[in-house]
Structure 1
Amino acid sequence: MAFHVPKAPGFSQMLKDGARHFQGLDEAVYRNIKACGELAKTTKTAFGPHGMNKMVINHIEKLFVTNDAATILKELEVEHPAAKMIVIACQMCEQEVGDGTNFVLIFAGALMTLAEELLRMGLSVPEVIEGYEQACEKAIELLPNFVCSSVEDLRDVGSVAQALKTPIASKQYGNEDFLAKLLAEACVSILPPTKIQFSVDNIRVSKLPGSGVNSSCKVSGMVFMRECESDIKTIRDPKVAVYSCPFDMLNTETKGTVLIKNAKELKSFSTGEEDLIEAQIKAIVDTGVNVIVSGGKVSDLALHFANKFKLMVVRLNSKWDLRRLCKTINATALPRLTAPTPEEMGHCSIVRQDEIGDRSVVIFEHTSQEGSKVCTLVLRASTSNILDDLERAVDDGVNNYKVLTRDNKMVPGAGATEIELANQIAKFGESCPGLEQYAIKKFAQALEVVPRALAENAGLKPTEIVSKLYASHQEEGGSKMGVDIETGDVIDVVDAAILDPYLVKHWALRLATNAAVTVLRVDQIIMAKAAGGPKPPKKSGDWDKDPDE
């Protein structure tokens, strides 16, 4: 069979029918820029403490009401390939430092929009890219000069709370003082006494509807939203045995058949079964154990003898909860219902069943600070949406604390760092001889997007605020001047304690620039013919049924 020879020249003639091909500035580059600009515009209004919430309904019709860009992007399921690159950059920032997602998105969007202006002026794509990369390197080089303070003691609750206040305020404005102090206490309480080693998984969250945000509290240990199986509800200084198997009789490895001829044999058989399970539970009690945690079902017979021997029985369905509990109380999860050795037992200060709101909870608590490896924050709020947003604020705060354990330096917030960077990068652009100086100046202009977004979302005049900031940054010692979103004035953000972690700014600048440059490098979009058979017709109801059914 001969090869198919296309009738007319052109790249699209080489592809199957149904394939699409776009090339050049108008078809490829400007399309990509527009898509990224639209995505950035979506989350720009959610930036800062006065950011508006977005109502997102995902593919399984779950409702999210939040201004957290990471959640919005995750649930939106962006399909456009260029916009997806920006989303990936945001996800990388979330993984690296746990914050700065919205900054990456709006800054990359601003870079792309300003790149379009440069391309329409007549600059080539390589010149724009070179200018952006030079400006980014200069920004990374200048950033350490703006460090204004650092968290000297990561075990001091007061200084840690001050550092966490700014990232929490962007999610929960008005509650940032209370939440920052609560989070600081939780993070500091689980630090090992000898070294600074922090894992975000050691801060757990339990969400209980009811009351208000200020009723949230910290528990040194773990909180499970369930009831005790046994009659005993509270035990102090317990010895805990953790089993990953059901709390029931041990089953034999082979099947057996018992032939029972009369009622006496039946009675003695059931008595033998009872004696066997009683002996098993007595062997556990003799080791000093008074709390049993089971990863499977709890049988009625076993529970009867547990109550007889005054054992407290807690059932956990999740194997992850079982593992975390073992970590909290220093226990070993046993696969069979056997008596534990002293090394396999867990210890804590108190195990109790409590009631918070109308929910029964079981709490494994350490009253001494040294014993706790896991800390749980019990969050309270009036609706599930507020609880979810509280959890995201806690997540941001915990990740920011982790960043501080890696690098404790802080830079001015409220747009002060961005305006000072813009000022110095614009001067650097003036000194560059080539055409890339236009791209460097546009990079500086793109940095204005942060104070502009803060001012716009607070109902202020963005251009007026930016001009005030530029004027104040020309004065001596003006590099710490940022925008006060309440009054619209320019304030010293270091005195106002509005500070951002240095590492978050560093990675956000780098990742946003890389994403923008990657999208600008694309000069052709080639889409192969979609695979698969005919698509189902778009109509309501069951499309398998005939219209007359």
Structure 2
Amino acid sequence: MAFRIPKAPGFAQMMKDGAKHFHGLEEAVYRNITACKELAATTKSSFGPHGMNKMVINHLEKLFVTNDAATVIKELEVQHPAAKMVVLASQMCEQEVGDGTNFVLIFAGALLQHAEELLRMGLSIPEVIEGYEQAGEKALDILKDLVHREVKDLRDREEVAKSLRTAIASKQYGNEDFLAGLIANACVSILPPESLSFNVDNVRSTKILGGGVGGSKLIHGMVFQRECEGDVTKVTGANIAIYSCPFDMLATETKGTVLIKNAEELKNFSKGEENLFEKYVKEIVDSGINCIVTGGKVSDLGLHFANKYKLMIVRLQSKFDLRRLCRTVKGTALPRLTAPTPTETGHCSSVCTDEVGDTTVVVFEKAQQDRSAVCTLVLRAATDNIMDDLERAVDDGVNNFKVYTRDRQLVPGAGATEIELGKKISSFGESCPGLEQYAIQKFGQSLEVVPRALADNAGLNPTKIVSELYAAHQEDGNAAIGVDIEEGGTLNASEACIWDSYLVKYWGIRLATNAAITVLRVDQIIMAKPAGGPRAPKKQGDWDKDPDEN
């Protein structure tokens, strides 16, 4: 006699066979905390100027060698749901202020590590969350009082370079002064004279292999890694016509049949088409145009007439490049071959073909006195990986400048701000009644993770450095004392011009705290049964290979 075996009692009986259910401190909370701690430990060694590089091979087998936490977590494709929450918080910080991803990861990891200690001591999850929420609000209040400096003039290149130096040093230590000056020049040169509206997309970068980082330069205009199509390779005082269509005779919409009886008729037929196309080209030349940019192909006939009338012709395959060029030269992209009006014509001081290393480039350059809407940084380096890191450093610098157009306040760097916050929050925790005070004090201790990571990655003793920092902040009352990663010991971050953006720090603390609290609020993990269906067959060799081929 057959009989049905009853399912396991409780929640499991409501789920399909194969579903997974974890609950409680041991199964859910501690598992999630462990995953987030492992993620934070992975990126912590990449924090600061002396951060180590990670070698990441993504799902497409592309190799990345970088210490940029945003790139590492993006290419790793983290799948653990709890760790993904922390990753999303760091990505939100990247979107909001363009920097601070690693800070969010390691600070959230430290908060969760200390939360685990409190839970094992016997505190309940709501008490830890309440303490963290109070401490987070207090930290953001104290942060306002730690502002030591402001970027007074965003059009002063030297002052802007000083404020960008710290953000760039974390990616390109040793080249920060050169790169900060280069990026400051680029950002200030495209800042509109009447407002502080700044678009990060207007600072372009093009990577050309070979040479050293010191060979990088700024071009007021745009650079394309292409060759020009015709014989003319340089035009000064360029009047540019931009077309989104091919430089060729447009095909008619209706089809027709032509009966040709002899060679003379064939010659006259093709001659008529040539004459019509030459008429178009002559109209363009008569309007003062000496350079043509097209988004489509250039026909042999078009090339012939371009050379005949001494027109420089450049082909761009990307419609986005075409749009950016329109913004740079203040021209309009025309959909068909007609002579542009004066308002549709683009202008720049010179268009020329040049060689950088062994790469041929076309440079659209505006005179420095004429303000360009777009500028390009030509980045040089010995390997592709160094160039990719250079590009990320440029992105960080440009995003920090964007932040300064919203908020110009700066706080001391080198871990000084975190130690001062930690000291004041620990004092605040001692004055609070209830068990939440332990969570508030642990929040203060979690902020030590920044100076500890800086010291550890620089080969110093983290415990000794943190003790010296607390002593200096307690005795001198100077909130600007931070970690000296060169000599060991402490230094005055303000005097050493090591500054962090207030807004980056504000969003970093806020998002890391929210991420940690969100992870702690999870007390059950329910995983439905994976979808069924046949699995893809395993096949040797390439998928497009014929089975009969040997």
**Into which bin does the TM-score normalised by the smaller protein fall?**
over 0.9
- 2:105 corresponds in structure 1 to 105
Shift of 1:13: 1.3
Alignment of 1:62-101 (within 5 A): 62-101=62-101
In structure 2, how many angstroms separate the alpha carbons of the residues matched to 1:477 and 1:122?
36
* Percentage of pairs with the same residue: 71
**Residues 221 and 364, structure 2, Cα contact 8 Å, conserved in 1:** yes
- What amino acid maps onto 1:61 in structure 2? E
- 2:402 corresponds in structure 1 to 402
Matched residue SS, 2:479: helix
In structure 2, how many angstroms separate the alpha carbons of the residues matched to 1:282 and 1:548?
59
- Say whether residues 1:143 and 2:147 are aligned partners: no
- What amino acid maps onto 1:180 in structure 2? A
- 1:196 corresponds in structure 2 to 196
Matched residue SS, 2:363: strand
Count of aligned residue pairs for this structure pair: 545
- 2:300 corresponds in structure 1 to 300
Alignment of 1:332-371 (within 5 A): 332-371=332-371
In structure 2, how many angstroms separate the alpha carbons of the residues matched to 1:252 and 1:542?
44
Residues 205-226 of structure 1 show CA distances to partners (whole Å, capped at 9, x for unaligned) of: 0000011000000000000000
- 1:480 corresponds in structure 2 to 480
Shift of 1:540: 6.5
Matched residue SS, 1:338: coil
- 2:447 corresponds in structure 1 to 447
- Say whether residues 1:389 and 2:393 are aligned partners: no
Shift of 1:535: 3.4
Moved more, 6-15 or 499-508: 6-15
Matched residue SS, 1:497: coil
**Residues 193 and 370, structure 1, Cα contact 8 Å, conserved in 2:** no
Residues 323-362 of structure 1 show CA distances to partners (whole Å, capped at 9, x for unaligned) of: 0000000101000011111111101111111110011111
- What amino acid maps onto 2:72 in structure 1? I
- Say whether residues 1:431 and 2:431 are aligned partners: yes
**Residues 189 and 369, structure 1, Cα contact 8 Å, conserved in 2:** no
In structure 2, how many angstroms separate the alpha carbons of the residues matched to 1:456 and 1:536?
47
In structure 2, how many angstroms separate the alpha carbons of the residues matched to 1:7 and 1:103?
47
In structure 1, how many angstroms separate the alpha carbons of the residues matched to 2:490 and 2:308?
71
Matched residue SS, 1:17: coil
In structure 2, how many angstroms separate the alpha carbons of the residues matched to 1:291 and 1:538?
55
Matched residue SS, 2:48: coil
- What amino acid maps onto 1:532 in structure 2? G
- What amino acid maps onto 1:395 in structure 2? D
Any gaps of 5 or more consecutive residues in structure 1? none
**Residues 348 and 371, structure 1, Cα contact 8 Å, conserved in 2:** no
**Residues 20 and 528, structure 1, Cα contact 8 Å, conserved in 2:** yes
In structure 1, how many angstroms separate the alpha carbons of the residues matched to 2:5 and 2:332?
71
RMSD: 1.7
Sort the Cα spacing of 1:247 and 1:544 in 2 relative to 1 into closer, same or farther, 3 A: closer
**Residues 330 and 347, structure 1, Cα contact 8 Å, conserved in 2:** yes
Shift of 1:533: 1.4
Alignment of 1:48-447 (within 5 A): 48-447=48-447
Shift of 1:370: 3.6
- What amino acid maps onto 1:402 in structure 2? K
- What amino acid maps onto 1:305 in structure 2? F
In structure 2, how many angstroms separate the alpha carbons of the residues matched to 1:497 and 1:245?
52
In structure 2, how many angstroms separate the alpha carbons of the residues matched to 1:227 and 1:543?
37
Matched residue SS, 1:107: helix
**Residues 48 and 170, structure 2, Cα contact 8 Å, conserved in 1:** yes
Shift of 1:538: 7.2
Matched residue SS, 2:351: strand
In structure 1, how many angstroms separate the alpha carbons of the residues matched to 2:544 and 2:152?
67
- What amino acid maps onto 2:296 in structure 1? G
**Residues 118 and 128, structure 2, Cα contact 8 Å, conserved in 1:** yes
In structure 1, how many angstroms separate the alpha carbons of the residues matched to 2:85 and 2:44?
18
Shift of 1:237: 1.0
In structure 2, how many angstroms separate the alpha carbons of the residues matched to 1:370 and 1:406?
26
In structure 1, how many angstroms separate the alpha carbons of the residues matched to 2:353 and 2:57?
36
In structure 2, how many angstroms separate the alpha carbons of the residues matched to 1:321 and 1:334?
15
- What amino acid maps onto 2:252 in structure 1? T
- 2:494 corresponds in structure 1 to 494
Matched residue SS, 1:348: strand
**Residues 163 and 499, structure 1, Cα contact 8 Å, conserved in 2:** yes
Matched residue SS, 2:194: coil
**Residues 131 and 440, structure 1, Cα contact 8 Å, conserved in 2:** yes
Sort the Cα spacing of 1:544 and 1:404 in 2 relative to 1 into closer, same or farther, 3 A: closer
**Residues 429 and 437, structure 2, Cα contact 8 Å, conserved in 1:** yes
* Runs of 4+ residues over 4 Å off in structure 1: 4-8, 536-545
Residues 66-103 of structure 1 show CA distances to partners (whole Å, capped at 9, x for unaligned) of: 00000001000000000000000000000000000000
Residues 100-143 of structure 1 show CA distances to partners (whole Å, capped at 9, x for unaligned) of: 00000000000011100000000000000000010000000000
Sort the Cα spacing of 1:174 and 1:544 in 2 relative to 1 into closer, same or farther, 3 A: closer
Shift of 1:256: 1.7
Sort the Cα spacing of 1:520 and 1:539 in 2 relative to 1 into closer, same or farther, 3 A: farther
**Residues 183 and 394, structure 2, Cα contact 8 Å, conserved in 1:** yes
Shift of 1:271: 1.0
Shift of 1:532: 3.0
Moved more, 520-529 or 468-477: 468-477
In structure 2, how many angstroms separate the alpha carbons of the residues matched to 1:316 and 1:521?
53
**Residues 189 and 371, structure 2, Cα contact 8 Å, conserved in 1:** no
**Residues 331 and 346, structure 1, Cα contact 8 Å, conserved in 2:** yes
Matched residue SS, 1:222: strand
Sort the Cα spacing of 1:27 and 1:534 in 2 relative to 1 into closer, same or farther, 3 A: farther
Residues 219-239 of structure 1 show CA distances to partners (whole Å, capped at 9, x for unaligned) of: 000000001101111111111
Shift of 1:539: 8.5
Taking structure 1 as the reference length, what is the TM-score of the superposition?
0.97
